[in-house]
């Protein structure tokens, strides 16, 4: 079994250099995956991620839609610009792995921000408690403060 990707010049160059690759072999062109294959692959790879079931189903549907819409756009691209863009099963797998990677990055960013805000909130609460205690102490020491200020005023007169 020999596998080549139609993307790029390498396949064309090999066929040009070795014409028997085309003449003496059976070519099995891989076509688009059917919808159920796309769904099962997405369910398998996204099943590894911790998330709610309804969110997982939405994500499976999302990657399928992205892949299908990309294939439709590639056909339009070929018609309008005469350039071929290949939408392969590998690109579908790359889409899923990129989604998983971005999801992990964003989850870690959100977790870091949550920790930052949680720590800030805890600091605000502890500061508020300390200010409350200081206010109570100040009220308790207010008569003594007034007495000391009178003593200071008397000493200022003496000085």
Mean pLDDT score of the chain: 88
**Per-residue model confidence (pLDDT) at position 7:** 65
**Exposed, middle or buried, 51 (CB in 10 Å: 0-12/13-18/19+)?**
middle
pTM: 0.65
**Per-residue model confidence (pLDDT) at position 18:** 84
**How confident is the model over 89-137, as pLDDT tens digits?**
888 999 999 999 999 999 999 999 999 999 999 999 999 999 999 999 9
Per-residue pLDDT averaged across 61-72, rounded?
92
Per-residue pLDDT averaged across 37-63, rounded?
92
Joined tokens for residue 81? 């610009």
Highest mean pLDDT among 47-56, 83-92, 110-119: 110-119
Helix 53-81 crosses helix 35-46 at what angle (to 10 degrees)?
Answer: 130
Domain spans of the chain, in order of start: 1-30, 31-158
Q: In angstroms, how far is CA 140 from the centroid of its own chain?
A: 54
Contact 88, 5 (CB under 8 A): yes
Joined tokens for residue 93? 């797998």
DSSP 33: P
């Amino acid at each position: 079994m020999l596998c080549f990707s139609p993307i790029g010049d390498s396949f064309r160059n090999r066929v040009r250099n070795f014409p028997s690759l085309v003449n003496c072999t059976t070519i099995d062109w891989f076509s688009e995956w059917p919808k159920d294959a796309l769904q099962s692959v997405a369910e398998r790879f996204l099943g590894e991620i911790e998330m709610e079931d309804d969110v997982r189903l939405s994500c499976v549907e999302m990657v399928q839609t992205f892949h299908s819409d990309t294939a439709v756009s590639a056909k339009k691209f070929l018609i309008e610009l005469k350039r071929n863009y290949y939408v392969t099963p590998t690109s579908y797998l790359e889409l899923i792995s990129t989604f998983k990677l971005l999801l992990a990055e964003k989850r870690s960013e959100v977790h870091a921000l949550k920790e930052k805000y949680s720590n800030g909130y805890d600091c605000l609460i502890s500061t508020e408690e300390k200010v409350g205690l200081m206010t109570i102490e100040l009220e308790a020491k207010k008569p003594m403060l007034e007495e000391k200020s009178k003593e200071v005023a008397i000493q200022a007169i003496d000085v």
